[in-house]
Structure 1
């Protein structure tokens, strides 16, 4: 749910804007035009992509770091056949 407050309301009662931001974006207007948006941090992180990575989500909590040293692939180059 979005909410809209004037810049005067923003200056007078910032607590109500902080509470409203927990439910969705809060638009602050200046002379009846949107000038700012206040977001809860969880919404900002979701939009900015600062959440957990897919690796973090899929990795079990008790997983430990390990070294991974796969064998080198043995691929021989051969001449191209141009007929």
Structure 2
């Protein structure tokens, strides 16, 4: 797997090229000559993070089951404002 390096300016001018390059390996994006960001394919990201997804991602999947959610109601505590 080779790492491709592009500048922030190149990334902004041709995002499609950077996305295509990320399919074959990480794309290092520099800002003023210094590494600033890394663009990865989703497959590589999941491999590095152990493939776990957040609850929001799981629920956003097409065909995800409906989940009943009924949090307990909180009791409101009111008091007079101290305007002194």
Normalised to the residue count of structure 2, the TM-score between the two structures is 0.59
- Separation in structure 1 between the aligned mates of residue 7 and residue 19 of structure 2, nearest angstrom: 14
Counting matched residue pairs gives 51
If you compute each CA radius of gyration, which structure gives the higher value, 1 or 2?
A: 1
Instruction: Quote the RMSD (CA, aligned, Å).
Output: 0.9
- Separation in structure 2 between the aligned mates of residue 50 and residue 42 of structure 1, nearest angstrom: 9
Normalised to the residue count of structure 1, the TM-score between the two structures is 0.60
- Separation in structure 2 between the aligned mates of residue 46 and residue 3 of structure 1, nearest angstrom: 19
- Separation in structure 2 between the aligned mates of residue 32 and residue 20 of structure 1, nearest angstrom: 19
Runs of 4 or more above 2 Å deviation: none
- Separation in structure 1 between the aligned mates of residue 33 and residue 43 of structure 2, nearest angstrom: 28
Gaps of 5+ in 1: 52-83
